[in-house]
Amino acid sequence: MRVGVQFTGSVPRNSTRKWFTHSWPEAWHVVWNCVPQSPIRDGGAQLEWKIQVCRQSSTKIKYYIEAKNLTGTTLQFEARYAIMNR
């Protein structure tokens, strides 16, 4: 398995933002996870995220990553991936 951070993002308070990442080989089994980085606080959930997928071509995949900030302050997060079959 190969893991990494594709990008870091910032979402204003109580807002939703969307990014995309393209040209992933269609044969890879990719799992996405979004993890809050700041502000650091223990308590309720800070972030909701969802992934949508588009086939760019017969060999490439595009992922859309949507992050929703559940807090009253700007939130920084990492979009992390794991390639399960590499």
Q: Provide the whole-model pTM.
A: 0.92
* Residue 65: per-residue pLDDT: 99
Does residue 44 or residue 86 have the better pLDDT?
Answer: 44
* Residue 28: per-residue pLDDT: 98
* Residue 86: per-residue pLDDT: 75
User: What digits encode the pLDDT tens for the residues 19-76?
Assistant: 999 999 999 999 999 999 999 999 999 999 999 999 999 999 999 999 999 999 999 9
Token pair belonging to 24: 């992933």
